[in-house]
Structures are given as C-alpha cells and as structure tokens.
Structure 1
Amino acid sequence: MRVLGINAIGHHDASVCLVEDGRLVAFAEEERFLRDKHARGQQPLNAVRWCLESRGLTWADIDAIATPWVEEEFGSVAPPGYREDISFSERDLGTAWARWPANLREFAAAAGARDGTMPLFQVSHHLAHAASAYWCSGFDETAILVVDGEGDRVSTTLAYGAAGKLSVLRQFSTVDSLGQFYACLTRFLGLGSFGEGKLMGLAPYGRPVLEFPEIELDPAGYRLRLDAGVKRWDPVHTTYRTVIDSWIRRFSERFGEPRAARERGRPTVLADWSQHDLDIAASGQSALEEALVHLAELAMRLSGSRRLATAGGVALNCSANGRLAAIPDLEGFFVQPAAGDDGVPIGAALHVSAICGFSPAGERMTSVSLGPSFSPDSCTTALSDAGLSYQTPDDISEAAGEHLSRNEVVCWFDGRMEAGPRALGQRSIVASPGARATRDRVNDIKRRARWRPLAPSLRQQDAQMLLDRGGEAPFMIVADRIAAGWRDRIPGVVHVDGSARPHTVDPVLQPAYWSMIDHFQRRTGLPAVINTSFNDEREPIVCSPADAVRTFVRSSADVLCLGPYLVRNPSAGPETDERR
C-alpha cells in the first residue's frame, strides 16, 4: 500500500512524504525547491512530483492520501462533538473530490491527480504528530507528548502508544498554548516570526530570575491564566490572534514596550539586548522547560510507561529536550527529528497505513536522509555552468579533513537531502572547533549573529568521552553538556553555559562524513567538527548541486566538496599561513 502524506493547507512548511507498506521511503519540503524559507502559502507541487518520480511512480500507483488537518473541512464552525470525535481521530472523505476541502481539490488538480481514484484521509493534527513520534521511536509502548502552537484547536496532547494503537490521555486548547507563549516571547524580544531557535540560543546569556505566573501547573496538567476573553474550545479564528495579543499585552505591562525588530540588514550582537532582556529570555526558557517536564512526567504517570516520545514544533527546542532526557528513571527517549509542521505528514501517512492494515515495522528512525540525491554528472554540470574548475581527489573525505585541519571552512554536499530543519552531514558547512574565532567566521559566512551557538558532529564511538550524558544523538535535537576536560579544547561548539547540540555520526549510515571527521581527528587530535546547515540566514538549506554552488560562490567559505569533487572558492583568496 502506498500512502502520500501531504501538508498542503497553504500556511507554512508545505511538505510531502511517501509511505510504502508502512515504511517511510521519501520526504521533501517545498521550501528547498522554491528556495523560499518555510514556503509560506505555497502548495508542495515540486515536493509531490519528486516523491513520485524518485520511486518511479505516477498518481495511478497511489492508494491513499493522508493530510494532517481536519479543521480545514468545516472552517470556523465545528460540528457537535468536535473534541470527542475529531481532535484525536481520522476521517475518511472517500475518493470523490466533491467531498474534499477546496484547498486539497485545487492541489490535487494542479499536481495531476484524477478525481475519484484514491481516498483522502484527514488525520487530526495532534494525532499525526503523535503518530510521527510513536511509529518512528522504535518503542513497542511509550508515553507521548505533543506540544506546538496550535493544530485543529489543540496545542498540547498527552497520549499513549502501545500494540500499534494510539490513545489520548489529555488535551489542552489553543488558549493554553505553550508554543504560543514561547513564540510571543520571541516576537516581544525582537526576534521575529520563526525565531524560537534564536530565543533558545539567547537564553543561556541571561539568568532565570523572573516568573510567568500565567503558567499554572497542577496535578491534572496546566492552565494559562490569560483572561483573553475567549472560551477554550472556541473556533481557532476567534482565539489564535486573541491569544497572541493577550501575551504581548501582558509582556508589555510587565517588561515594557516590545523590543524593536533586532535584525535590520545586519546580524544582531548581544549588546542589542539589556541584561534584563537576557533575563527575560532565560526565564521564558526555564518556564517552558518546567512545564514540559511536568507534562512529560504526567503522561508517563497516566500511561504507566517509562518511555517518552515527543513531537510538535516545541519539540525542536534542544535545551528543553535535554531537560526531558534527564527525567529520573526514564528508560527510553525519542524526539521526532522533523518535529514541526514540515514533518507532520509523516505521522499522517504512517497512521493511515496502520489503520489500513500495513502497520509500520516499529523500527527506530536512525536517519532522515530521505530527500533528493544527485549524480556526479549533475555536480559537474553545476560547476561548469558556474565556470568553476574542480579537482577529483582520490578520497574526498581525506581531502576535506586536510582542509579542515588548516582551519579552513568547508561546504559539504553528499547523498540524500535531510528531512527536518537540521543539517546532518548531507548539506552541511563544517569547520574546526578549536577556536571561537572560527565559530565567529562560520556565523559571518552564514550572516548569522556571532552569539548564536554552533553544533558539533562527532564519531559515535566518541560520545561517551566528549559528552556528559553520551549515547547516540543522530539528529542534533537533544542538548547535552561537553565534558569539562574538552570545553577549552573545542570552544567553537561549546555554548556559554557549557552545553552543545551534539550530532553523533554512524560510520555505516554516513561513511563519507564519518571518514571526514576521522581524518580531521587524526590530524588534529580534536574529536569533533563544527556542523551547521549549508545555507545563509535568509534561505533554506541547499537542495541541488546548483543551489550548493550558488550559495558557496556568494559566501567566503574556502572549499566546496560537491559529491566526489573539490572546489576552491575564487572569492576566498589563496591559502594563507594564518588559516593554516
């Protein structure tokens, strides 16, 4: 059975996945093709075309479509029994397009599908998130925590997965959105939309000395005391903007006027914020972490499980995930690496596959290399079109390791594009972690603020030596602390609080990238490299060789490793003793 999961409601993070007989075999985000970050308002026409073509399929080969929303069908007026019947369930709308939401009819027609040939399943948003966590965790049973801004009127779900079934334990409405609390604090501090990762990075510079009394934790879960003037299960259009306005008003009453947008044509510096601002950031991060730990422990207590799987946009908060990983007596922890709305069609498609009798294998997700790959010929064509000369080293990994040992910055393009927001060795910019100045240079290349941390990639076998908690960390999504003996030796990947977002590399899954780190370590004695996404601050991660060449040439990075080929950047100038 083949199921296409489609996040195509025209909001943000449009994406498509393909599940065959319960196995996730392809995934792509529309932003990577359009070169438009988050692809706001776009339908994923390029993504669906690639998913089909990558498997040699046409629409005639697809058995069902799964979409991770139900609210779109009835707009602002929900039917009776909405919470009980829809907020954690699926709806089979059949094959006739007349029964489908207008936006999905339009998408199907534009994508080349035919009316009446395949059923459409609408999977409630939080059920889809929960399914993406459960089916990819490798756990036979687990407590599940989903937290995001909002989806189908729900902002937090506690659930339980066991024996191939998902059941809801608790749900909390848009009015109680922890995701909106954090997003609004992000905007209040001048970090803009989709700036939550920046707030997470800013928080360690402050002190968690302030309180947010609106967040009331209790034995049944929590409530946000906003007095926003709306009921908890009112339609989304009457609550979403009201909740945002209420948070901004409360922050303003307590902390002063909202901070002006901090990025106006230049990267920010820490001096753009007062110490009080930094304390606000730290306190907001701490409040979020306390709430998430409370809810995770509640989900585990209600389910009787000692395992935890998480998804939803808030699950991209690496620092909070580090707190969750440290819950006492936790026996297993999994964070869906595509935790945001870009990854939610994965859960929708896996859920539909399961209810149709093709249950996923239950294997733990160990790789997100699910997107397009490109042939060597595609690489040489892109280089020739750009007028770039190139070398073909006997061993591209060894050559890259040598350039890294000279303190040069290397753009690395290899294999299938990653799913989710983190570059994990297929589309990465890498550098030596031996000096903070190198971290600053990498941030400058990406046009990012210098205060923002960068992550380490390390060989899997070095995790116990280099990290306090150790263990596998294949997705750069759970914070750990760098072991005390290493912090001064690899300062380029150590944040101000001693933390890092590690990416451990398996030699079987990523032989070339692992080998590059290995060659670098042999030359320098340093057991990690800086790893950040291959893009600049204003664009998505590169997808194709042409994207890689274009971004590389615009940058001041020294070297591009494009498949088996190595290119020096004409704009970077000759090698110097300083870089050596």
Structure 2
Amino acid sequence: MKVLGISPLDKDATVSVVVDGEVLFAAGEERFSRVKQQDGFPRLALQAALEYTGLNMSDFDQVAYPFLTADNEEKVFRKNLADEKAFIKRFQPKDLGAQVKEALTRVQDRNEPIHGLTHPNAMMEKGALHSSYYSVAGTQRLASNRAALAGSRKWAEQARASFVHWEQELASGLEEFGWNEPVKRMDHHLTHAANSFYASGYDRALCITLDGYGTGLAGSVSIGQNGKIHRLHGISYPNSLGTLYEHVTSSLGFKPSRHEGKIVGLASYGDPTILGGILLSRIEQRPGDFSIYEANNVYFSRYLATRFPKIDVAAAYQYVLEVVATDFVRHWVEQTGIDTVVLSGGVTANVKLNQRIFEIDTVKHIFVYPNMGDGGCGTGAALYQSWPGGAKSSISNAYLGPDYSTAQMVAALQDAGLAYREPEHLAAEVAALIHAGQVVARFDGRMEYGPRALGNRTIMYHAREPEVNQWLNKRLGRTEFMPFAPVTLYEAREKCYHNIRGAEHTAEFMTVTFDCTDFMREHCPAAVHVDGTARPQLIQRHVNPGYYDILQEYEKLSGIPSLINTSFNMHEEPIVNSPADAVRAFLEGNLDYLILGPYLVKHPAMEHSPNEQHKTHD
C-alpha cells in the first residue's frame, strides 16, 4: 500500500512517502524553501518526493494527515477547556507570596561567567508597568485565574481559525497536484505513537507521546504489540508539558517551539531547588496522570523570569518536566510490566528528559523517534495506514531526503569559483586536517530527515578544545548554552558513556544524553556539558561508511573515538539541502574545508598550509 503522509501545516510542514511500512522519502519543506520551520502546504518537498521516488499522485492509495477536521478538533478541545475551568475552581494553590519570598533568600551570588549571558545571575529586565502586570496577572488568584481562562479562550479561537485555514490550504495544495480524493485524517497522538513504535523494531513496547497539543491531548500512553497500537490513557489538553516549556522559553526571551534546547542548556547552570517546589505545587499529580494549574497563564513564568536569575528559572522548569514526566512513565511501566519504552512528540526533543526516562529502574530499553516533533507525524500517519502487520527490523538510519549527483556538485563549485580536488584517500586526509585543528563541513549522500545533522550535512571538529563552543558558534552566528554534540564510534560507546546499554540504537540518532566517562571528560571536553553529560551520535560503518571512516582514521591519529558534529547551517537557517546551499554556508561560515561528495575544497580565505592550526578563531 502506497501512502503519502503530510505533517501538520502550521509549522515544519513535511512530506513522507511510505510503501508497505517502508519509508522511501521524507523531508521538510524548510530544507527547500530555506525558511526555518516552514509552514504551509509543502509544495517543494512534495515535488522532490515525487521526483525522487518516480511516483505520481495517482499511484498513491491514500493521503494521510495527522489531525482531524477543524470541527472535530474543536469538539474535543472545547470539552477539555470546560473541564479546565472546573479544575481551576477547585484547586487550592499554596501561598505564592510566601513561597517566592522564601525562594529569593536562596538565590546564590555567582561570578563565574556563562557564555551568552551578561551576568550569571541575569534576569529578564522589563519596565515597571510590565513587571507590575506580571505580578498581578501571574500571582494574584482572582486575576491569575482570569488570565489563565482568557489564555485558554484565546488559544481556542486561534486554534479554530488555524485548523480551518490549514484545512483549506491542504485541500487546495493537494488539488494542485491532482489529488481530489478524501484525505485520511488521524488522531494526532496516534501518529506520534505509530512513528516511534513502527520505527523501533520492537515487537512489544510502551508508546509514550508528549507534546503541546494534538486532537484534544497533550500526551498519551499506548501498548504497541504485534503491529497494533492500543491506547491506555490520554493526558487532556491544556495539561501540557509542551505548553509549560513553551511558556518558560518565551518568558526567558527565546522563541517557543524553536529554542527550547537553549533552556535545557541553561538549566544545568542553575539551582532547581529554588523554584522547583513552587512549580510542583501547581501540578496535581495522580497515578498515571496529572493536571497543571493555570496551564495557559504565561504571566506566571514571566513573573518568575523578572524576579529570579534566568538559569534558576530554567533549572526549575527542566526539573519539574523531568519529575512529572518520569512519574507518569514509571506508573505505566509498572502497571503494564513493559520495560521497553518508545517516545515521540515535541517534548521528547528534550534529550535530558529522555535520559531521565531511561534511568527509571524498570525501563530496560528506549527508542526515541528521530523526527519526534510534528514534522514526524506525517510519517507516523503513513506508517500506520500502510503497515502490513507484525514487527519489522528497526530503522537503521534517517537518511531519507534527497541526494545529488557529482555533476550538480561540480556545477555548484564552479558557479562559486572554487577550486577542488578529488583525494585518493579522502577519509585519511580529512582526519589529518581535523586532527591539525581545521573545521571541516561534510555534504554527501541523502539528506537527514528530522532536526539532527547525522553526518551527511555536518560540520566536524576535534573535541579537545572547549573554547570551540564559543568561537565556532560565533562564526556560525549562533548563541548556544549547550556544547556541540559528539559523534562516536559505535564500538567505543561504553568507553565514552555510562549506562548506554539498552539505548545504543536511539543514540545513533542523537536523541538522548548520557553521563560521560572519565575518558570522555578528559579527551573530549568540548563535547561535555557542565553537568557532565553529552548527546552523542553513535555511528556504525554499515550505516554511513564515508562518515565512519573519517572518525576511524581520526582515532588512529589521536587515540580518541569521538569528534564534534554540529549541523551544517548558518544561524536560524535550516540544515543545508543542496550543493549550492552547502557552498554558500561554507563560504559565509568561513569554514576551513568542505567535503562535497568525493571532492575536497579549501576555503579561499585560508592563508595557512593544510597542516597548520587555523588561527582565525575569534
């Protein structure tokens, strides 16, 4: 059965072509439009999918979409918001004034600089009017209740309008491509559960989904077994850990649904005990479920952000996310007796949370879908509809986008006036360059699907130099609070990371952190966060021989089986797609060398010999 899956159009619109449970092609519109998290109908990605697979729209048996109609979505969330009103009325919050007063006495004096912050205790600076409003709307019960319910009403109005708009755009976009048949609409969280379960290779697993909103829910738990998925429970929206984290992301001055990773990084510098108790006191946890008081009141997190250091606010929200989510998962693992957990949903992009879930005593195996956000839902919908039954082997890679011919690569180089060579021993030469301190971008093979660069659209550097996190991010126009992630030879996984057994496969997709060994801390400090963790990509040769061989040759030179791997893109741009994208990012990022398929290109601005340390690390 041939199914075209299209992810929600409101952000990160993505196309997936699935035939009998095998993903033939999957890519986000952003990679073609060059607009981060591109919304709208994915015309460019769909055209690329058809060209790559050789299929016509008439060849598909079905088009699947991971939301219900606007009317049916509204029926579900309207009921939920009525339930929220009753919960707010009966919930008895603690005295917030007293809690905040006590918490302020425990804020530490700090002087150790944190890159990206003006001061380690920097807070959000707002004018007196804003601060006063946050204090009232965020903390005084009558006003804060009104603000929360008004936030829910506003969300409902925007959600209704959004569903109607994208429903029309989906229909018109498909009609442009000649599809006039009905669209198979699906429960959103079922598509999340489907992508993680069917891609995992497990015959039986507990499917956990957590996100902002989807078909009335903010999370779900299901049993996947023998190719079928049976839901046990859903977390009703607006009791959303995704919304909770979006609020703190916005309140700390970052873009929600895009910069949550910065909050994860900031959190490790702060003290979660200062505000953690206050946040937990606003969440009613029950066995296998929870409710969040005033879930749609963004002014509460804004209030905290103006009174407490950013790092302490981030630390508290990360801590509470971990506590609530792990309590939820632990209950269902114990209830079902299933020790294998598969994860999907935007919240599970939080790699530190995934580590905490894997550390639950009763969890023995974990898999996180590589495109865990809504961009992966089209694939989940198509997998579910085309699944032939039973279990299949797990996916071996996420290289599901387009690739390009050497002729196209040469044309891009010639258009830019760049000289290039075709080395006989490319991997060994590149490893020597990296060992000598050169920054090398790699563009080869099919583009990665999902948010992570996994070797084919990657920038590499050695991990011996902690300062790289400042100068290379500056060169690429980025501000990050987490170090670059490492790529590590699969055979060296236990040499570099603790407690990795049972999570080896998901670590091939860079979706979970681990505590680092002393070897990793000593030899790869650039890849180890302040909390002693790293988010590795494990690489096996049969998955990506060219990428693996560079790392293996580097290990021969250095004795170190890890390199830095960061995405090949400039700040706020998507990961590069085409040879032309790669050449432009290479030049604009002032990177030292570019691998373009079989070719090696030296940046024209370099004045040093290939074996000399590049000095322009400002």
Q: TM over 0.5, yes or no?
A: yes
Which residue identity lines up with residue 103 of structure 1 in the other structure?
Answer: E
Q: 1:101 to 1:538 in 2, by over 3 A?
A: closer
> Does residue 67 of structure 1 match 2:100?
no
What's the C-alpha RMSD, in Å, of the aligned pairs? 2.1
SS in 1 for 2:199: helix
> Does residue 477 of structure 1 match 2:511?
yes
Show the counterpart of 2:286. 218
The CA deviation at 1:107 is: 1.3
Q: 1:82 to 1:314 in 2, by over 3 A?
A: closer
Show the counterpart of 1:416. 446
The structure in which a higher percent of residues are helix is: 2
Contact between 1:432 and 1:438, CA under 8 Å: does it hold in 2? no
Contact between 2:288 and 2:327, CA under 8 Å: does it hold in 1? no
> Which of 261, 264, 267 is matched with 1:200 structurally?
264
Show the counterpart of 1:330. 363
> Does residue 115 of structure 1 match 2:180?
yes
In 2, Cα distance between the equivalents of 1:155 and 1:363?
29
1:101-148 CA-partner distances (Å, limit 9, x unpaired):
4332211122x12424xx521111101001111111111111111000
Alignment of 1:282-321 (within 5 A): 282-321=315-354
Contact between 1:342 and 1:420, CA under 8 Å: does it hold in 2? yes
Show the counterpart of 1:250. 300
Long gaps (5+) in structure 2 = 82-165
Identity %: 33
Aligned length: 521
> Does residue 170 of structure 1 match 2:233?
yes
Q: 1:426 to 1:577 in 2, by over 3 A?
A: closer
In 1, Cα distance between the equivalents of 2:425 and 2:233?
53
Which residue identity lines up with residue 191 of structure 1 in the other structure?
Answer: F
Contact between 1:433 and 1:439, CA under 8 Å: does it hold in 2? no
Contact between 2:80 and 2:216, CA under 8 Å: does it hold in 1? no
The CA deviation at 1:300 is: 1.6
Contact between 1:409 and 1:558, CA under 8 Å: does it hold in 2? yes
In 2, Cα distance between the equivalents of 1:121 and 1:395?
50
The CA deviation at 1:256 is: 3.0
SS in 2 for 1:512: helix
> Which of 520, 524, 546 is matched with 1:512 structurally?
546
SS in 2 for 1:199: helix
The CA deviation at 1:366 is: 2.3
Which residue identity lines up with residue 441 of structure 2 in the other structure?
Answer: C
SS in 2 for 1:53: helix
Contact between 1:434 and 1:526, CA under 8 Å: does it hold in 2? no
In 2, Cα distance between the equivalents of 1:336 and 1:157?
15
Alignment of 1:47-86 (within 5 A): 47-72=45-70, 74=72, 76-77=74-75
> Does residue 396 of structure 1 match 2:462?
no
TM-score (norm: length of structure 2): 0.81
Farther off after superposition, 163-172 or 420-429: 163-172
Show the counterpart of 2:193. 130
In 1, Cα distance between the equivalents of 2:560 and 2:79?
59
In 2, Cα distance between the equivalents of 1:79 and 1:483?
46
1:402-424 CA-partner distances (Å, limit 9, x unpaired):
11011110001111101110000
In 2, Cα distance between the equivalents of 1:218 and 1:417?
43
Which residue identity lines up with residue 195 of structure 1 in the other structure?
Answer: H
In 2, Cα distance between the equivalents of 1:253 and 1:361?
49
Show the counterpart of 1:102. 168
Which residue identity lines up with residue 250 of structure 2 in the other structure?
Answer: R
Alignment of 1:430-469 (within 5 A): 430-449=460-479, 451-469=481-499
Q: 1:114 to 1:5 in 2, by over 3 A?
A: closer
In 2, Cα distance between the equivalents of 1:518 and 1:504?
12
Show the counterpart of 2:560. 526
The CA deviation at 1:187 is: 0.8
Contact between 1:145 and 1:295, CA under 8 Å: does it hold in 2? no
Which residue identity lines up with residue 411 of structure 2 in the other structure?
Answer: T
Contact between 1:23 and 1:361, CA under 8 Å: does it hold in 2? no
Show the counterpart of 2:159. none
Contact between 2:226 and 2:391, CA under 8 Å: does it hold in 1? no
Alignment of 1:139-178 (within 5 A): 139-178=202-241
Contact between 1:23 and 1:360, CA under 8 Å: does it hold in 2? no
In 2, Cα distance between the equivalents of 1:107 and 1:148?
27
TM-score (norm: length of structure 1): 0.86
Q: 1:81 to 1:448 in 2, by over 3 A?
A: closer
Contact between 1:407 and 1:438, CA under 8 Å: does it hold in 2? no
Contact between 2:192 and 2:345, CA under 8 Å: does it hold in 1? yes
Which residue identity lines up with residue 11 of structure 1 in the other structure?
Answer: D
In 2, Cα distance between the equivalents of 1:121 and 1:568?
50
Contact between 1:561 and 1:567, CA under 8 Å: does it hold in 2? yes
